[in-house]
Amino acid sequence: MQDRDNHSSSSSEPSSSKPELSTTSSIPAKVVSSSAAAPPATDSNTTTAPPPVSTNTTVPEWHPTGLLSGHPTRPYAIIILNQPINYKALDAVIDHADLLVCADAGADRLYKYHQQQQDQQQQHLPLRPQTRPHIRLPDAIVGDLDSLSPQVEHHYRAQGVQVIKDPNQYSTDFTKCLKWIRRTVEHSQQSSLTLAGPQECEVVMDVVVLGGLGGRVDQAFSQIHHLYMASNDSDLLVGRIYLLSESSLSFVLAEPDSDSTTPSSSTTTTTTSILNIIHVPESKQGFSYFEENVGIIPVLGRCHITTTGLEWDVEDWPTEFGGQMSTSNHIRSNRIEIAFQGPRPLFTMELGRRFRHC
């Protein structure tokens, strides 16, 4: 069920032919099969039932396949960080984005991506399957501009791209881009309301961040930190945020009835479990958008999870760093259900081979 590359020697684990749990804890895991009708085995010290799942609110549902297939269920913006770009994944998402913004020298990364497209055309080489013949310019380049190259800045300015310098050193280029997207969406909404008359219209704009987790460790953690920070701050985001890296798509599981949550919600302990549903439909084009490997990472601390739709499902299972973690688990259904109690975990999915950075 869990990380098969880091087996535990804990004698409290039940004997099984399944891969062992990644754990340094003596807490026995209660593992259940998704097809089993019987209740999971429990140890003699277990006296409490799993917490009930909240049923009086709308369950957050995720459709990550829509991002890669060109059929998104919600509007989204793209942020390109100053990290190596997964060109194959960018090919899949760039044309359907409502906004495209580069974080400082992320513009240099996009420029190199455009150059590669043009080189392929000039050499009459076959383009990547989802590459389009036109060049998508960024809507803005935002940051303190301490790393944007003069050549690239001049190139995009000459084509009418906004270049916005924000010297505030108490805000990262990542958050500056989020704020720019937020302001742009609000301005668009206000313009629409002026034309259409007074009516209520919810501002929703998901964000797909092109970044990398395979380089410097501090930068990788910074990107995960920003996922949590953005999803907790409605001044930065009203929508959902995804990290599209070299090999994975990752996102923070959501609270119900909201596209962004209050600052304290990610660490609030509740008496009921919060259910999220991830839809992973089978491809009709003869290839997979995602491989089978997934992980549920308790970034903010200990929580309890209950899952269905995975090869190694669990019920009311404690997970934390230094203890048990569900990594290298496998998708076994086109509908994955994860109920969690405690801080919101990170869910990560391995991209299909066609979308992985080589």
> Are β-strands 303-308 and 317-319 bridged in parallel, bridged antiparallel, or unpaired?
antiparallel
Element (DSSP H or E) covering residue 107 = helix 106-122
Distance CA 317, CA 307 (A): 9
- What SS3 class is residue 226? helix
DSSP 94: G
**One-letter amino acid for residue 82 of the chain:** N
Q: Quick one: what percent of the chain has pLDDT higher than 70?
A: 72
* This prediction's pTM: 0.79
Q: What is the pLDDT of residues 327-347, one digit of tens each?
A: 999 999 999 999 999 999 999
The token pair at 94 is 């760039």
**E strand residue ranges, 3-75:** 31-32, 61-62
Domain count across the chain: 1
**Nearest by Cα to 212 from 356, 68, 345:** 356
pLDDT at 163: 98
User: 178 pLDDT exceeds 50?
Assistant: yes
Contact 308, 34 (CB under 8 A): yes
CA distances from 205 to 41, 75, 141, 252 (A): 43, 6, 18, 16
Classify residue 57: in a domain, yes or no. Answer: no
Q: With contact defined as beta carbons under 8 Å apart, do 135 and 156 qualify?
A: no
Q: How many residues does the chain have?
A: 358
- pLDDT at position 120, please? 73
Model confidence at 196, pLDDT cuts 50, 70, 90, reads low
Report the sign of the C-alpha dihedral through residues 143, 145, 147, 151, in that order: positive
Please report the sign of the dihedral spanned by the C-alpha atoms of residue 222, residue 280, residue 301, residue 271. Answer: positive
Q: Is residue 219 part of a domain?
A: yes
Q: How confident is the model at residue 11 (pLDDT cuts 50, 70, 90)?
A: very low
Residue 159 counted as domain residue = yes
Q: Is residue 120 part of a domain?
A: yes
In a domain, 325, yes or no: no
Residue type at 76 in one-letter notation: Y
Confirm whether 316 is domain-assigned: no
Q: Is the pLDDT of residue 326 over 80?
A: yes
Q: Are 256 and 340 in contact (CB under 8 A)?
A: no
For residue 71, pLDDT over 50 is answered with yes
Burial per residue of 188-205, b for 16 or more beta-carbon CB atoms within 10 angstroms, e otherwise: eeeeeeeeeeeeeeeebb
Q: Averaged over 88-97, what is the pLDDT?
A: 95
Q: What is the pLDDT confidence band of residue 214, given thresholds at 50, 70 and 90? A: confident
Q: Is residue 302 part of a domain?
A: no
Mean of the pLDDT values across residues 78-103? Answer: 96
Residue 345, both tokens: 């975990």
CA distances from 182 to 235, 237, 296 (A): 7, 6, 29
CA distance 97 to 340: 31
Contacts of residue 35, Cβ cutoff 8 Å, sequence gap at least 6: none
In CATH, what number is assigned to the domain containing residue 93? 3.40.50.10240
Q: How many whole angstroms from its chain centre is CA 250?
A: 3
**Range(s) of the domain holding residue 177:** 72-252
Contacts of 342 (CB under 8 A, 6+ apart): 269, 270, 298, 301, 302, 303, 304
Whether residue 353 lies inside any domain: the answer is no
